[in-house]
Amino acid sequence: MSLRVQDLLRHYGGVKALDGVSFEVLPGQCVALIGPNGAGKSTCFACLAGQQVPTRGRVFWQGQDVTDLTPAGRQALGMARTFQVAQTFEALTVLQNLQLVLSREHLSWWDRLAGRHTAQALQGLAQVGLAAQAQVVVADLPYGAKKRLELAMALAGLPGQGESVQVGHAQGERVLLLDEPAAGLAPAERADMMALVRQVAHEGVTVLYTEHNMDAVFGVADRVLVLMQGRLVADGTPEAVAQDPQVRERYLGRDFDMQIGMKGRRDARG
């Protein structure tokens, strides 16, 4: 068992953002969490990653109750997240962003990043297709490249990455919580990003992600979870969820056709 969510409830005053949500994500799975705006996806992610504490319910990672741990405490156990808007250090170069993440030891103000974990950082950039932009200042990157850099930073920050940032070489299980990894990307960039996400899962990292672009869901995920009004209303394969009457009526639309998405799924998997 990898990630288990048990009866999550989160109140904001009289509003139930989450209302008894339970599910499991097994090791190595790539699972999409979808639903309309206001369904509770962001709140669920914040509870999983430690930015918020649920009103009720528990979060377990590899059998350990992590509900009360900080985000840093969860990261030390192999849990990392990205955000809807890429979180990077704009004034640093692409290479320095990864060097900073890899320098887990305390950095004093007089320390320099030059020479720290250079080989590992370059390997991590190569993993996400950014090796050629290593010396570019992040502020000058296109947005799609920033999203890929954020993914590399999340991977580099996980335990076991001090020796190598290449996916699949860390010790122990790891889970990535990706909050709309394809948000703001053009269709071609979106396809590239989701192929990368699929590769990460294929090489041994458990992935749970939210997304509004349906080609990035039905084109990639092994399994789809659907939240509506704080409740989990569907959980199954993409094919099964796409045919769920409630999901089609209230979210996807009666005329939803997943054939294009399924082509993307084959392309992403190679």
Q: Grade residue 262 by pLDDT with cuts at 50, 70 and 90.
A: low
133 within a domain of the structure (yes/no): yes
Q: Which domain holds residue 10?
A: 1-78+172-270
Structure tokens at 213: 């672009």
Whether 154 maps to a domain, the answer reads yes
Residue type, 180: E
Residues 6+ away with beta carbon under 8 Å from 238:
217, 218, 221, 223, 224, 258, 261, 262, 265
Whether 83 is covered by a domain: the verdict is no
Q: 112 and 72 in one domain?
A: no
Do 186 and 109 share a structural domain?
no
| Global pTM value | 0.86
Nearest to 151 by CA among 187, 118, 198, 116: 198
Confidence (pLDDT) at 160: 60
Looking at the domain assignment, is residue 242 inside a domain? yes
For residues 24 and 127, state if they share a domain.
Answer: no
The answer to whether residue 245 is domain-embedded is yes
Query: What does the pLDDT look like over 35-75, one tens digit per residue?
Result: 999 999 999 999 999 999 999 999 999 999 999 999 999 99
Residues 155 and 270 in one domain: no
The residue written with tokens 């692409």 in the block is: 94
What pLDDT does 84 receive?
80
Q: What are phi and psi of 203, to 5 degrees?
A: -95, 15
Same domain, yes or no: 167 and 188: no
Across 28-37, 104-113, 117-126, 182-191, least confident range: 104-113
pLDDT interval class at 259 (50, 70, 90): low
In a domain, 134, yes or no: yes
Listed residues 133, 152, 171: the one ending a domain = 171
Statement to judge: residues 176 and 268 lie in one domain: yes
Asked if 102 and 181 sit in the same domain, the reply is: no
Residue 155 sits in a domain whose CATH number is 3.40.50.300
Listed residues 171, 189, 209: the one ending a domain = 171
Return the residue matching tokens 């672009």: 213
* 59 and 124 belong to one structural domain: no
Tell me, yes or no, whether 131 and 242 share the same domain: no
* Residue closest to 234 by CA, chosen among 21, 29, 27: 21
In a domain, 127, yes or no: yes
148-198 confidence digits (pLDDT tens): 999 999 998 887 654 433 333 334 689 999 999 998 899 999 999 999 999
Residue 16 lies in a domain: yes
- Domain shared by 133 and 56, yes or no: no
User: Would you give the DSSP letter of residue 93?
Assistant: B
Q: What is the pLDDT of residue 115?
A: 66
Q: Is the pLDDT of residue 108 over 60?
A: no
Contacts of 141 (CB under 8 A, 6+ apart): 94, 133, 149
What secondary structure does DSSP assign to 16-44, as a single string? EEEEEEEEEE-TT-EEEEE-STTSSHHHH
185 and 269 share a domain? yes
Task: Provide the domain count of the chain.
Answer: 2
Percent of the chain with pLDDT over 70: 86
| pLDDT score for 173 | 85
Note whether 270 and 203 are same-domain residues.
yes
Final residue in a domain of this structure, among 143, 171, 199: 171
* Mean pLDDT along residues 12-24: 93
